Structure 1
Amino acid sequence: MAGKIYPVHCGLKIIDMQKISWWLLLPLLAVGCAKPTGFDYLGVRNFKVIKFGLKESTVGADVEFYNPNRYPVTMKGGSVDVYANNSYFGKTTLDSSIQIPKKDTFLLPVVLKVDMNNTAIGLIQTLAAGQDSVHIKLDGSAKVGRGGLFINYPIRYAGMQKIKF
Protein backbone atom coordinates (compact mmCIF):
# COMPACT_ATOMS: atom_id res chain seq x y z
CA MET A 1 0.00 0.00 0.00
CA ALA A 2 2.76 2.38 -0.85
CA GLY A 3 1.82 5.96 -1.79
CA LYS A 4 -1.39 6.24 0.24
CA ILE A 5 -1.64 8.36 3.33
CA TYR A 6 -4.26 7.51 5.87
CA PRO A 7 -5.39 10.07 8.44
CA VAL A 8 -4.64 9.28 12.04
CA HIS A 9 -7.64 9.56 14.30
CA CYS A 10 -6.70 10.74 17.77
CA GLY A 11 -10.20 11.12 19.09
CA LEU A 12 -10.91 14.19 16.92
CA LYS A 13 -12.52 14.19 13.54
CA ILE A 14 -10.48 15.57 10.64
CA ILE A 15 -13.02 18.37 10.14
CA ASP A 16 -12.60 19.42 13.78
CA MET A 17 -8.81 19.73 13.28
CA GLN A 18 -9.40 22.13 10.38
CA LYS A 19 -11.67 24.26 12.56
CA ILE A 20 -9.08 24.27 15.34
CA SER A 21 -6.34 25.36 12.94
CA TRP A 22 -8.48 28.34 11.80
CA TRP A 23 -9.03 29.36 15.43
CA LEU A 24 -5.27 29.20 16.01
CA LEU A 25 -4.64 31.47 13.00
CA LEU A 26 -7.26 34.03 14.06
CA PRO A 27 -4.99 35.90 16.55
CA LEU A 28 -2.30 36.19 13.86
CA LEU A 29 -4.83 37.67 11.42
CA ALA A 30 -6.09 40.09 14.08
CA VAL A 31 -2.56 41.35 14.77
CA GLY A 32 -1.79 41.63 11.06
CA CYS A 33 -4.92 43.70 10.45
CA ALA A 34 -4.60 45.81 13.59
CA LYS A 35 -5.71 49.42 13.32
CA PRO A 36 -2.68 51.72 13.14
CA THR A 37 -2.21 54.08 16.05
CA GLY A 38 -2.17 57.83 15.45
CA PHE A 39 0.89 59.82 14.52
CA ASP A 40 2.54 62.16 17.01
CA TYR A 41 2.64 65.78 15.82
CA LEU A 42 6.14 67.25 16.28
CA GLY A 43 5.90 70.66 14.60
CA VAL A 44 6.23 72.68 11.42
CA ARG A 45 9.46 73.21 9.49
CA ASN A 46 10.45 75.17 6.42
CA PHE A 47 7.52 77.60 6.51
CA LYS A 48 7.54 79.72 3.33
CA VAL A 49 5.28 82.00 1.31
CA ILE A 50 5.14 80.54 -2.18
CA LYS A 51 2.87 83.15 -3.75
CA PHE A 52 1.66 86.37 -2.17
CA GLY A 53 -1.50 88.01 -3.45
CA LEU A 54 -3.99 90.56 -2.18
CA LYS A 55 -6.95 88.16 -2.42
CA GLU A 56 -5.26 84.77 -2.08
CA SER A 57 -1.80 83.61 -1.12
CA THR A 58 -0.12 80.20 -1.17
CA VAL A 59 1.92 79.03 1.81
CA GLY A 60 4.06 75.89 2.05
CA ALA A 61 5.54 74.01 4.98
CA ASP A 62 6.77 70.61 6.07
CA VAL A 63 4.78 69.16 8.97
CA GLU A 64 6.82 66.74 11.07
CA PHE A 65 5.22 63.61 12.57
CA TYR A 66 6.41 60.47 14.34
CA ASN A 67 4.97 57.05 13.39
CA PRO A 68 4.81 54.95 16.61
CA ASN A 69 3.56 51.83 14.76
CA ARG A 70 5.76 48.73 14.52
CA TYR A 71 5.11 48.57 10.78
CA PRO A 72 5.26 50.98 7.85
CA VAL A 73 1.97 52.48 6.64
CA THR A 74 0.75 54.42 3.64
CA MET A 75 -1.10 57.72 3.85
CA LYS A 76 -3.24 58.76 0.92
CA GLY A 77 -6.02 61.23 0.34
CA GLY A 78 -6.28 63.70 3.19
CA SER A 79 -7.88 67.04 3.91
CA VAL A 80 -7.16 69.35 6.87
CA ASP A 81 -8.63 72.71 7.90
CA VAL A 82 -6.05 75.01 9.49
CA TYR A 83 -6.88 77.64 12.11
CA ALA A 84 -4.47 80.34 13.33
CA ASN A 85 -5.19 82.21 16.55
CA ASN A 86 -8.66 80.57 16.63
CA SER A 87 -9.68 81.90 13.20
CA TYR A 88 -10.01 79.89 9.97
CA PHE A 89 -6.78 80.28 7.99
CA GLY A 90 -7.12 77.86 5.07
CA LYS A 91 -7.40 74.28 3.86
CA THR A 92 -4.80 71.81 2.64
CA THR A 93 -5.39 68.56 0.76
CA LEU A 94 -3.22 65.53 0.08
CA ASP A 95 -3.91 63.89 -3.25
CA SER A 96 -0.92 61.54 -3.47
CA SER A 97 0.33 58.53 -1.53
CA ILE A 98 3.14 58.79 1.00
CA GLN A 99 5.04 55.79 2.39
CA ILE A 100 5.65 56.26 6.12
CA PRO A 101 8.46 54.28 7.79
CA LYS A 102 7.89 52.32 11.00
CA LYS A 103 8.94 53.88 14.34
CA ASP A 104 10.45 56.92 12.65
CA THR A 105 9.84 60.61 12.01
CA PHE A 106 8.65 61.83 8.64
CA LEU A 107 7.91 65.14 6.95
CA LEU A 108 4.59 65.74 5.26
CA PRO A 109 4.85 68.56 2.70
CA VAL A 110 1.72 70.73 2.68
CA VAL A 111 0.57 73.58 0.49
CA LEU A 112 -2.10 75.85 1.90
CA LYS A 113 -4.29 78.26 -0.07
CA VAL A 114 -4.95 81.22 2.20
CA ASP A 115 -7.82 83.64 1.69
CA MET A 116 -6.24 87.00 2.51
CA ASN A 117 -9.07 88.18 4.74
CA ASN A 118 -8.70 89.80 8.16
CA THR A 119 -7.40 86.54 9.68
CA ALA A 120 -4.39 86.24 7.37
CA ILE A 121 -3.56 89.94 7.60
CA GLY A 122 -3.84 89.79 11.41
CA LEU A 123 -1.49 86.80 11.49
CA ILE A 124 1.05 88.60 9.31
CA GLN A 125 0.84 91.66 11.59
CA THR A 126 1.34 89.43 14.65
CA LEU A 127 4.48 87.87 13.13
CA ALA A 128 5.75 91.27 11.89
CA ALA A 129 5.34 92.71 15.42
CA GLY A 130 8.00 90.32 16.70
CA GLN A 131 5.85 87.53 18.11
CA ASP A 132 7.13 84.22 16.81
CA SER A 133 4.42 81.94 18.25
CA VAL A 134 0.91 81.37 16.92
CA HIS A 135 -1.89 79.16 18.23
CA ILE A 136 -2.40 76.52 15.52
CA LYS A 137 -5.34 74.14 15.26
CA LEU A 138 -5.59 71.30 12.71
CA ASP A 139 -8.89 69.54 12.04
CA GLY A 140 -9.36 66.94 9.30
CA SER A 141 -8.76 63.35 8.25
CA ALA A 142 -6.59 61.17 6.02
CA LYS A 143 -6.73 57.62 4.71
CA VAL A 144 -4.08 55.51 6.46
CA GLY A 145 -3.44 51.81 6.05
CA ARG A 146 -1.36 48.98 4.73
CA GLY A 147 -1.83 45.93 2.58
CA GLY A 148 -4.65 47.55 0.62
CA LEU A 149 -6.83 48.13 3.71
CA PHE A 150 -7.33 51.82 4.51
CA ILE A 151 -9.31 53.64 7.17
CA ASN A 152 -10.24 57.30 7.53
CA TYR A 153 -8.09 58.50 10.40
CA PRO A 154 -8.85 61.80 12.19
CA ILE A 155 -6.17 64.49 12.30
CA ARG A 156 -6.57 66.74 15.33
CA TYR A 157 -4.05 69.07 16.94
CA ALA A 158 -4.13 72.35 18.86
CA GLY A 159 -1.18 74.18 20.40
CA MET A 160 1.32 77.00 20.17
CA GLN A 161 3.71 76.84 17.23
CA LYS A 162 6.80 78.91 16.51
CA ILE A 163 6.80 80.18 12.94
CA LYS A 164 10.09 81.07 11.29
CA PHE A 165 10.32 82.44 7.76
Structure 2
Amino acid sequence: MAGMKKMMIALTLVAALCWSCKKPQGFEYRDTKNFRIDKLGFDRSSLMMDLVYFNPNSFGVNLKHIDCDIYVNHVYLGKYALDTVMHIDRQSEFVLPSKMEVDMKNVFKNALNVLLNPEVLVEVKGSTRLGKAGIFINVPFDYSGKQKVAFF
Protein backbone atom coordinates (compact mmCIF):
# COMPACT_ATOMS: atom_id res chain seq x y z
CA MET A 1 0.00 0.00 0.00
CA ALA A 2 2.88 2.40 0.80
CA GLY A 3 4.40 1.67 -2.63
CA MET A 4 1.12 2.53 -4.34
CA LYS A 5 0.89 5.81 -2.41
CA LYS A 6 4.45 6.77 -3.43
CA MET A 7 3.68 5.95 -7.05
CA MET A 8 0.52 8.12 -7.00
CA ILE A 9 2.48 11.03 -5.52
CA ALA A 10 5.19 10.62 -8.15
CA LEU A 11 2.62 10.51 -10.99
CA THR A 12 0.88 13.60 -9.59
CA LEU A 13 4.21 15.47 -9.47
CA VAL A 14 5.09 14.44 -13.02
CA ALA A 15 1.64 15.52 -14.28
CA ALA A 16 1.92 18.88 -12.49
CA LEU A 17 5.39 19.40 -13.94
CA CYS A 18 4.18 18.64 -17.48
CA TRP A 19 1.21 21.01 -17.20
CA SER A 20 3.38 23.84 -15.80
CA CYS A 21 5.94 23.64 -18.61
CA LYS A 22 5.22 25.56 -21.79
CA LYS A 23 7.09 25.05 -25.00
CA PRO A 24 9.49 28.00 -25.43
CA GLN A 25 8.64 30.50 -28.16
CA GLY A 26 11.31 31.67 -30.58
CA PHE A 27 13.06 34.97 -30.02
CA GLU A 28 11.86 38.15 -31.73
CA TYR A 29 14.44 40.04 -33.76
CA ARG A 30 14.61 43.74 -32.79
CA ASP A 31 17.69 45.44 -34.23
CA THR A 32 21.25 45.24 -35.54
CA LYS A 33 23.86 47.48 -33.92
CA ASN A 34 27.60 48.11 -34.21
CA PHE A 35 27.88 46.67 -37.72
CA ARG A 36 31.52 46.52 -38.83
CA ILE A 37 33.76 44.73 -41.31
CA ASP A 38 36.31 42.60 -39.47
CA LYS A 39 38.19 41.25 -42.49
CA LEU A 40 37.68 42.26 -46.11
CA GLY A 41 38.65 39.90 -48.92
CA PHE A 42 37.79 39.25 -52.55
CA ASP A 43 36.40 35.73 -51.93
CA ARG A 44 35.33 35.88 -48.28
CA SER A 45 34.86 38.62 -45.70
CA SER A 46 34.07 38.63 -41.99
CA LEU A 47 31.32 40.84 -40.64
CA MET A 48 30.75 41.60 -36.97
CA MET A 49 27.58 43.00 -35.44
CA ASP A 50 25.45 42.97 -32.32
CA LEU A 51 22.03 41.40 -32.87
CA VAL A 52 19.29 42.58 -30.50
CA TYR A 53 16.51 40.10 -29.71
CA PHE A 54 13.57 39.89 -27.31
CA ASN A 55 12.59 36.82 -25.27
CA PRO A 56 8.75 36.74 -25.34
CA ASN A 57 8.56 33.81 -22.92
CA SER A 58 7.19 34.34 -19.41
CA PHE A 59 10.16 32.38 -18.10
CA GLY A 60 13.91 32.56 -18.49
CA VAL A 61 15.57 30.14 -20.89
CA ASN A 62 19.06 28.96 -21.65
CA LEU A 63 20.32 29.48 -25.17
CA LYS A 64 22.66 26.73 -26.28
CA HIS A 65 22.98 27.01 -30.06
CA ILE A 66 21.93 29.13 -33.05
CA ASP A 67 22.23 28.00 -36.65
CA CYS A 68 20.78 30.10 -39.47
CA ASP A 69 21.09 31.22 -43.07
CA ILE A 70 20.99 34.91 -43.97
CA TYR A 71 19.59 36.30 -47.22
CA VAL A 72 19.60 39.87 -48.54
CA ASN A 73 17.04 40.61 -51.26
CA HIS A 74 16.50 36.84 -51.62
CA VAL A 75 20.21 36.21 -52.34
CA TYR A 76 22.07 33.92 -49.93
CA LEU A 77 24.63 35.99 -48.01
CA GLY A 78 26.06 33.52 -45.54
CA LYS A 79 25.62 31.22 -42.58
CA TYR A 80 25.64 32.25 -38.95
CA ALA A 81 26.27 29.81 -36.12
CA LEU A 82 26.73 30.41 -32.40
CA ASP A 83 27.73 27.65 -30.04
CA THR A 84 27.60 28.97 -26.51
CA VAL A 85 25.47 28.70 -23.41
CA MET A 86 23.89 31.85 -22.06
CA HIS A 87 20.91 32.57 -19.84
CA ILE A 88 18.17 34.83 -21.22
CA ASP A 89 15.85 36.48 -18.67
CA ARG A 90 12.09 36.31 -19.16
CA GLN A 91 10.44 38.97 -21.35
CA SER A 92 13.66 40.90 -21.89
CA GLU A 93 15.86 42.21 -24.66
CA PHE A 94 19.33 40.77 -25.04
CA VAL A 95 22.31 41.23 -27.34
CA LEU A 96 24.16 38.52 -29.22
CA PRO A 97 27.64 39.55 -30.38
CA SER A 98 27.90 37.98 -33.81
CA LYS A 99 30.53 37.22 -36.41
CA MET A 100 29.61 35.94 -39.85
CA GLU A 101 31.65 34.74 -42.82
CA VAL A 102 30.27 36.10 -46.10
CA ASP A 103 30.75 34.82 -49.64
CA MET A 104 31.67 38.03 -51.54
CA LYS A 105 30.33 36.89 -54.93
CA ASN A 106 26.84 36.95 -53.42
CA VAL A 107 27.48 40.41 -51.98
CA PHE A 108 28.47 41.69 -55.42
CA LYS A 109 25.16 40.37 -56.83
CA ASN A 110 23.34 42.75 -54.47
CA ALA A 111 25.75 45.69 -54.58
CA LEU A 112 24.01 47.82 -57.23
CA ASN A 113 20.56 47.19 -55.77
CA VAL A 114 21.78 48.14 -52.28
CA LEU A 115 23.45 51.33 -53.55
CA LEU A 116 20.29 52.43 -55.40
CA ASN A 117 17.82 51.48 -52.69
CA PRO A 118 18.03 52.74 -49.07
CA GLU A 119 16.27 49.59 -47.82
CA VAL A 120 17.02 45.91 -48.30
CA LEU A 121 14.97 42.85 -47.47
CA VAL A 122 16.77 40.78 -44.83
CA GLU A 123 15.67 37.19 -44.24
CA VAL A 124 17.03 34.99 -41.48
CA LYS A 125 15.96 31.34 -41.35
CA GLY A 126 17.16 28.78 -38.87
CA SER A 127 16.76 27.33 -35.41
CA THR A 128 17.85 27.88 -31.84
CA ARG A 129 18.38 25.32 -29.14
CA LEU A 130 16.54 26.53 -26.02
CA GLY A 131 16.08 24.90 -22.69
CA LYS A 132 15.15 25.06 -19.08
CA ALA A 133 16.21 22.81 -16.22
CA GLY A 134 18.64 20.91 -18.47
CA ILE A 135 16.05 19.94 -21.08
CA PHE A 136 16.69 21.50 -24.52
CA ILE A 137 14.55 21.60 -27.66
CA ASN A 138 15.04 23.04 -31.15
CA VAL A 139 12.88 26.08 -31.84
CA PRO A 140 12.71 27.16 -35.50
CA PHE A 141 12.54 30.81 -36.51
CA ASP A 142 11.94 32.68 -39.75
CA TYR A 143 12.47 36.45 -39.77
CA SER A 144 11.88 38.71 -42.75
CA GLY A 145 11.95 42.49 -42.73
CA LYS A 146 13.20 45.65 -44.39
CA GLN A 147 16.43 47.16 -43.05
CA LYS A 148 17.74 50.63 -43.83
CA VAL A 149 21.26 50.72 -45.22
CA ALA A 150 23.18 53.99 -44.98
CA PHE A 151 26.56 54.30 -46.63
CA PHE A 152 27.00 58.06 -46.21
Please state how far the C-alpha of 1:122 moved relative to its aligned partner.
3.5
Name 2:62's counterpart in structure 1.
Answer: 74
Which whole-Å CA distance do the structure 2 matches of 1:164 and 1:49 have between them? 15
Aligned pair partner of 1:93 in 81, 89, 105: 81
TM-score calculated relative to the size of structure 2: 0.85
Name the structure 2 match of 1:108.
Answer: 96
Q: Superposed, which structure 2 residues align to 1:1-12 within 5 Å?
A: none
Structure 2 residue runs of 5 or longer lacking an equivalent are none
Task: Give the residue type in structure 2 aligned to 1:126.
Answer: N
Q: CA deviation at 1:40?
A: 1.6
Specify the alignment match of 1:132 in structure 2: 118
Equivalent residue in structure 2 for 1:145, among 118, 126, 131: 131
Whether 2:148 is the aligned partner of 1:162: answer yes
Distance 1:80 1:25 in 2: 37
Distance 1:97 1:78, change over 3 A: same
- The Cα offsets for residues 105-158 of structure 1, whole Å up to 9 and x where unpaired, read as 1112221111110x30133333333x3311111111121112111111112112
Which whole-Å deviations, capped at 9, do the CAs of 1:15-63 have from their partners, x for residues lacking one?
A: 5544543444244311454321221222322222111111111112222
Of the two, which has the highest radius of gyration?
1
Residue 22 of structure 2: aligned partner? 34
Query: How many angstroms apart in 2 are the aligned matches of 1:31 and 1:125?
Result: 53
- Sequence identity of aligned pairs in percent? 32
Distance in 2 (alpha carbons) for counterparts of 1:152 and 1:76: 10
Consecutive unaligned residues of structure 1, counting only runs of 5 or more, are 1-12
The alignment covers a number of residue pairs equal to 151
